[in-house]
Amino acid sequence: MALLPLVVANIQDIQTRDNTIERRLVEPVIAINPTDANFGISAVAPGRFVTSADGTKIFAEARGNSSKPVIVFIHGFGIGAMAFNEIFDDPVWLDQAYLVRYDTRGHGRSDKPTTAAAWMSQRLAEDFDAVVQSYSLIKPFVLGWSIGGTHIADILSFHPPNYISGIIYDAAVPDMASLFNVSTPAADALQPGLLTTTNVTQFQATYIEFINLCHPALEWNFYLACLGDGVVQPRAATALLFSRTQNSTAVLDVIAGWQRLNVTTLPGAEHFTWISRPVLFRATVLQWISQNA
């Protein structure tokens, strides 16, 4: 059966999960052919595929002011780089920084390998390297959100500390060994359902609950996109992601001599910090980067 091109229509009125209506800018109508090698890349959704050292294709995107400090955003579990849409569409962010994001392996538009060798710590560090090399980035700041923070341990296990300019942990886990020491009981309770490979109903219910834990009132289309990102991830990739090992002391070894540590609490923030407290989150990150660039 042939796959027909899809047309993404322009949308003006967006219904949110609380049944309010939001007016959004009209985007151009674009045709998308699912068989294209660059499926998902367009003038509206720019980006590129880069090739990691083991051949894995990684989807990446950069926006913003290339004369400003570089921030590479690494997303958390299940939800790809589209998690950062509100940041990458924000003119203040785009004016004050050069923003780079990528779908980590197993997520979004990137390849989704299901062998243990593909989930070694070095492989994830090499994915970051491929993005850095493709965009000719020099000493970027790295923002790791949620389990995305563990990738910083991978990066610093194979590079000296001056490879990056600084670390922003956003409600993050610093390494895989710490994952279940810092997560909440509600999040821990979801693990069996997220890892199941045989019970579709359990996985569906658990993943919906997982997204609701990240933020209970997301805009409807974004909420559906978050659910969709979870569906495209093979269950075997999920299991390998959670069971992978890494040097859990890499970050501690590196940051012992670093300075200008700042710990900030965002009152009332959900796990999607930049959605629930957008102005405070933006000001906190950009101010710290401007002081340390």
- Report pLDDT digits (tens) over 215-240: 999 999 999 999 999 999 999 999 99
Which pTM does this prediction carry? 0.84
Q: Is the dihedral of CA 131, 133, 135, 138 positive or negative?
A: positive
Structural domains in the chain plus CATH codes: 43-256+264-292 (3.40.50.1820)
Consecutive H or E run containing 129: helix 121-134
Name the residue type at position 230: G
pLDDT of residue 213: 93
- Residue 58 CA: distances (Å) to CA of 132, 159, 213, 227: 12, 20, 27, 20
Residue 69 in this model has a pLDDT that exceeds 90: yes
pLDDT of residue 259: 76
Mean pLDDT value across the chain: 86
pLDDT of residue 1: 33
- Report pLDDT digits (tens) over 124-154: 999 999 999 999 999 999 999 999 999 999 9
180 phi, psi to nearest 5 deg: -90, 5
Q: CA nearest 112: which of 229, 17, 192, 205?
A: 229
Beta-sheet strands, E only, within the chain: 6-8, 13-15, 21-23, 30-32, 48-51, 57-64, 70-74, 98-102, 141-145, 166-170
What is the Rg, in whole angstroms, of the alpha carbon atoms belonging to the chain? 19
Q: Across residues 190-201, what is the average pLDDT?
A: 92
Residue 165 in this model has a pLDDT that exceeds 60: yes
What proportion of the chain, given as a percentage, has pLDDT over 70?
A: 85
Residue 12 in this model has a pLDDT that exceeds 50: no
Q: CA nearest 236: which of 189, 198, 207?
A: 198
Q: Are 195 and 241 in contact (CB under 8 A)?
A: no
As a whole number of angstroms, the distance between CA 20 and CA 128 comes to: 39
pLDDT of residue 45: 54
As a whole number of angstroms, the distance between CA 172 and CA 187 comes to: 13
17 band by pLDDT with thresholds 50, 70 and 90? low
31 band by pLDDT with thresholds 50, 70 and 90? very low
